[in-house]
Homo-oligomer: A and B are copies of this chain.
Amino acid sequence: MAFTSVQKIRFDDVDGAGIVYYPQFFHLCHAAFEDFFDSAAPVSYPELVGQRRLGFPTVAIESSFSAPLVYGDVAVVELTVERMGRSSVTFGYQIRRKRDGVLCFRASITTVLVSIDTMKPVPLSDEHRSLFERLLPEK
């Protein structure tokens, strides 16, 4: 089942062409990822990073942009899990405009759980597996 995070497009999110600057879409994704941790994980992402010294850096992205967001839009970000490996998790993101439901962006973002101190992969714990399993598509 997907996790949904709703975020306002802010005054500074647009670029010189008056639409949301494309790197900002990935920021919306990361904010949804953090919100998922806040809502569902035993440990928030700040605690995971700051205290457990673990993190999920991005290793690969495949994404497409199909409609613009503008200042005043509200972005509805949907987060799912597409694949889990030993240390890796591929998240699926879809961003829609709230005003008309139009799909603006989709991405598959592959991350790897690493030790922040060594930047080496660490196997996903059972805790993380069960956290992310909730976001797998239902069969």
Q: Which residues of A contact B (CB under 8 A)?
A: 8, 10-12, 14-19, 21-27, 30-31, 34, 38, 44-47, 49-50, 55, 57-66, 68, 70-72, 107, 116, 119
Contacts and interface: CB of A to CB of B under 8 A. Distances in A.
A88 B55 CA distance: 36
A134 to B, nearest CB: 21
Given A8-B34, A23-B30, A17 B55 contact: yes
- How many copies of the polypeptide does the oligomer hold? 4
* Majority secondary structure of chain A interface residues (helix, strand, loop or mixed): mixed
Contacts of A19: 57
A89 B49 CA distance: 33
A116 B18 contact: yes
B58 A34 contact: no
Contacts of A65: 57-60
Given A60-B65, A61-B61, A72-B46, A27 B15 contact: no
B71 A46 contact: yes
Nearest to A112: B65
